[in-house]
Amino acid sequence: MTADDANKLLALAKANYSYAFKTMTKQEKIMLVQSWAFALQDIPADIVMLAFMQLLTTSKWLPTVAEIREKVKDMYYQSAFSSTSLFPDPPEVQKAKEYIATNAYRLRGDGDSHELSLDTILQGPYMANLGSGKMGFSAIEDGQTMYLPDTEDEL
């Protein structure tokens, strides 16, 4: 998941949980987008979106990154072990389940672990900044991405 993907996801979240963003400053919104992108970098955006949409149906409050990662882990198990049914899925559904199982495999963990692993962080797109001294707060405002709009920009 990239910062642009995280921004789109959080714009959807803002449409559904507007209370969560009302008092945020622009800097806080940028930090939110970048932290979500960082914490979800090992999961394809479409899988994160599926997990978020599932959480949207049951969550009264804005889901957290941890809840999204846990839901992706649940989706992995549902996809990887659903072939035991007596009634086979249509081919397109089976293909989607195989994609989810393949791309969410690293979240299966042992026990309840579903955190972003150190190896994944070091192999991810943020690696270049980790050893350069740019991974602090100054690195989050890249000036290229449109982030969640401010209230006055929405009118």
pLDDT tier at 5 (50, 70, 90 boundaries)?
A: very high
Domain that holds residue 32: 3-145
Domain-located, residue 152: no
**Contact predicate 22/151, CB 8 Å:** yes
Query: How many domains, in total, are found in the chain?
Result: 1
Residue 52 has pLDDT above 60, yes or no: yes
Regarding predicted confidence, which is higher, 148 or 137? 148
Domain-located, residue 150: no
Domain-located, residue 151: no
Q: What is the pTM of this model?
A: 0.71
Closest to 106 (Cα-Cα) out of 119, 96, 97 = 119
| Per-residue confidence (pLDDT) for residue 36, from 0 to 100 | 92
Domain-located, residue 153: no
| Per-residue confidence (pLDDT) for residue 134, from 0 to 100 | 56
Domain-located, residue 86: yes
Domain-located, residue 54: yes
Name the region of 133 (left: φ>0; alpha: ψ -120 to 50; beta: rest). left
pLDDT tier at 13 (50, 70, 90 boundaries)?
A: very high
Domain-located, residue 59: yes
pLDDT tier at 152 (50, 70, 90 boundaries)?
A: very low
| Per-residue confidence (pLDDT) for residue 123, from 0 to 100 | 65
Domain-located, residue 123: yes
